[in-house]
A and B are shown apart, each in its own frame.
Chain A
Amino acid sequence: MTSNTQSIGIVGAGIMGRLLALELKWQGHTVTLFDRNDRDGRGSCSWTGAGMIAPYCELEAAERMITELGVYSAQRWPKLIKKFAEPVFYHSRGSLVVAHPNDRNELERLRRRVIDNAPRPDIMEEVDGARLGELEPELAGRFPQGLFFPFEQHMANRDLLRAMGKTLETEGVKFVTGFTTQTISSGEISDGHSTHTFDRVIDCRGMGAKSDLPELRGVRGELFYLHAPEVNLSRPVRLMHPRYSIYIVPRPNNEYVVGATAIESDDDRNVTVRSSLELLSAAYTVHTGFAEARVKEASVACRPAFPDNHPRIHTADGLIRVNGLYRHGFLIAPALSEFIASYIQTGAIPEKGKTLFREA
């Protein structure tokens, strides 16, 4: 099944399913995308995600492999976004990492991890209070030191999902919403009423694939959308703390995403008071202007993860499953979708992604 045009059915329209649908469409395949939810992606993990493309900051907890996939994806994002039918709030202004004086060892730990794992020295700049004030004037005098990662990016994930939804339409991808898949098998997708057949099926259901992927687990993440007229930050700011590390990611019009918790749990019910206290008080210590901010939304999702917290691409005849994007969906999806598209096109596992593939 490596002829040049195939009919492909994709289940799951989060970041992974959407990007893959477009990528395969651009390669000339006939693509149908299914999701149980709506066109905008509500209810997906991607709807909640903060939209940072931070291959180096993520070294705080992730391994080098994620950084490599992220660096590769970060090169692809601007080009992909240009091809979308609607604009996306997207910036590459880098990101800042700060810590309160007592917690400066947390900065030092990240600095060392980056030095140990990063390909080039220029990806991280150690900044003092003055330089920090140049980068983010409203943080002047608040922190004596920090780290600046000039090549990191951020985007509004919900803009992105919407723009991709629109692009799917203009590119002629059939997008079936409100379709809750019951069974997925080689070449077949069924919701219990109707069965659709394809040359190949791709399962991108995230946590929705749990029953078919016994090793998949959820890592609960909670975050807030705040409208803070008194806060003006132009790039993501991370606060390192021994327990309550947070990030603040700008959106247009003085809106900010403040996140996120990481709890070993499949529970995706409402945000808890404890998490709210932690996230919001940490945000307040970064900028007191958050005191008068309006809470627009508290959002929760479980990040789909395998035991090693690395993504996997399972391949079998007529069926591919991509999952385990964990806390890196936006960061790594462009790399994964390119690997999968290349695999479908050539039948060969691409060298760059070979550790991710598992053949049945």
Chain B
Amino acid sequence: MWKLADKELTNRLIQGTAQYPSPEILCESIRASGAEVVTIALRRQSPKDKAGARFWELIRGLGVHVLPNTAGCRTVKEAVTTAQMARDLFGTSWIKLEVIGDDYTLQPDTTALVEAARILVKDGFEVLPYTTEDLIVAQCLVDAGCRVVMPWGAYIGSAQGLTNKFALMTLRKRLPDTTLIVDAGLGKPSEAAHAMELGYDGVLVNTAIALAKDPVSMARAFGDAVRAGRAAYEAGLITPREMAAPSTPTIGQPFWHSERRE
């Protein structure tokens, strides 16, 4: 069991719902991975008229927690309005906060992000911000009242994996009490496992599953990888050894043989 904000969960994979070949395959993938939280973009679905209702009903039918996001928002105002619409529509105060600063890479505008987070936290939202791996920004988000911070592994949809592992490790060490989720950029289950081994509380995956040749099997693979990575983290990973130069005489070899080279 772990806690995402105030919810007790068993599965540590959060799944996105975009770009699947069909809603049916999406639903099967969620069942296969065992994800208990799924993100939903509502920006374009005329939420006020419930025009996308059929799609949401299908997802709701799975009994998962819905994490609406503000995907596609470019300003503080847009993001705040979208979050408020999402709260009315889905009856949840959870919001995955995205404020996009660059249209091609979908890199977050971290300045606007922090500002929007402040406003939404004050308004009673549980804000889960999508951010870069920058420690100071993450700290500002925590100061703004975010219990969960979601740094990227790489650009959204890029499948580049953990491009700045060192910074992600720093975040983990420096924010031990914050729930940290790697969001975006993961391409392979091994990368998800890696993020979990670093002590991250969860990962969020969309494109790598949705666009796989067989999304259902890929979802299962990600679910397994996340479990494996977490189990490894809890089991305590050994520290890698510097094995290039033997520290003790190798059996069968006279000890002065190796010493002489130094």
Identity of the chain A residue whose Cβ is nearest the Cβ of B19 in the assembled complex: A61
Given the complex of chains A and B, what is the CA–CA distance between A267 and B23 in angstroms?
18
- Taking the closest CB of chain A, its distance from the CB of B119, in whole angstroms, is 23
Cβ-based interface call for B247 (8 A):
no
Interface residues of chain A, those whose CB is within 8 Å of chain B, are 61-63, 102, 109, 112-113, 116, 215-218, 220, 242-243, 263-267, 269, 272, 274, 305, 307-310
A242: contacting residue among B25, B72, B157, CB under 8 A: B157
Q: How far is the CB of B88 from chain A (nearest CB, A)?
A: 17
Chain B nearest CB, measured from A178 CB (Å): 27
Interface size in chain B (residues, C-beta < 8 A):
21
Asked whether B46 is an interface residue with its Cβ less than 8 Å from the other chain, the reply is yes
Which one of A243, A265, A272 contacts B51 once the chains associate, using CB atoms below 8 Å?
A265
Residues of A within 8 A of B256 (CB): none
B121 close to A (CB within 8 Å): no
Are the CB atoms of A217 and B211 closer together than 8 Å? no
- Contacts A61-B21, A116-B213, A217-B54 given; does A307 touch B49 at CB 8 Å: no
Complex contact B55–A309 (CB within 8 A)? no
From DSSP, what is the main secondary structure of chain B's interface residues? loop
In whole Å, how far is A59's beta carbon from the nearest beta carbon of chain B? 10
The residues of B that contact A62 with a CB separation of less than 8 Å are 21
How close is B16's CB to chain A, nearest CB, in angstroms? 13
Q: Are B211 and A109 in contact (CB under 8 A)?
A: yes
In the complex, chain B residues 172-221 whose Cβ is within 8 Å of any chain A Cβ: 211, 213
CA distance A217 to B24 in the complex (A): 12
Contact partner of B45 (CB less than 8 A), chosen from A63, A265, A269, is A265
Inter-chain contact A308/B22, CB cutoff 8 Å: yes
Alpha-carbon distance A308/B25, docked complex (angstroms): 7
Per the 8 Å Cβ criterion, residues 209-250 of B in contact with A are 211, 213
Q: Which residues of B contact A215 (CB under 8 A)?
A: 54
- Chain B residue nearest in CB terms to A242: B157
- Are A307 and B211 touching (Cβ within 8 A)? no
Chain B residue, CB-CB nearest to A105: B159
Max chain A Cβ within 10 angstroms of own Cβ: one of B22, B25, B72: B22
Contacts of A267 in B (CB 8 A): 45-46, 49, 51
Top 3 A-B pairs, shortest CB-CB distance: A217-B54, A267-B51, A309-B22
Minimal beta-carbon separation of B39 from chain A (angstroms): 14
A327–chain B nearest beta-carbon distance, Å: 11
B25, B44, B54: the one within 8 Å of A266 (CB): B54
**Contact B54 A274, beta carbon cutoff 8 Å:** no
Query: What residues on B are CB-neighbors of A310 within 8 Å?
Result: 22
Asked, given contacts A263-B44, A265-B45, A266-B53, whether A113 binds B213 with beta carbons under 8 Å apart, the answer is yes
Q: Which residues of B sit under 8 angstroms from A243, Cβ to Cβ? A: 157
In this assembly, does B27 line the interface, its C-beta being within 8 Å of a C-beta of chain A?
yes
Q: Contacts A264-B55, A265-B51, A266-B54 known; A307 to B45 CB distance under 8 Å?
A: no
Please name all residues of chain B whose beta carbon is closer than 8 Å to the beta carbon of A266 when the two chains form the complex: 51-54
B55 to chain A, nearest CB (A): 4
Instruction: Check B58 for interface membership: any CB of A closer than 8 A.
Output: yes
Separation of A267 and B51 alpha carbons in the complex (Å): 5
CA distance A218 to B51 in the complex (A): 9
Bound form: Cα–Cα A208–B60 in Å? 25
18 contacts between A and B (CB under 8 A): A61-B21, A62-B21, A109-B211, A215-B54, A217-B54, A242-B157, A243-B157, A264-B52, A265-B45, A265-B51, A265-B52, A265-B55, A266-B53, A305-B22, A307-B22, A307-B27, A308-B25, A309-B21
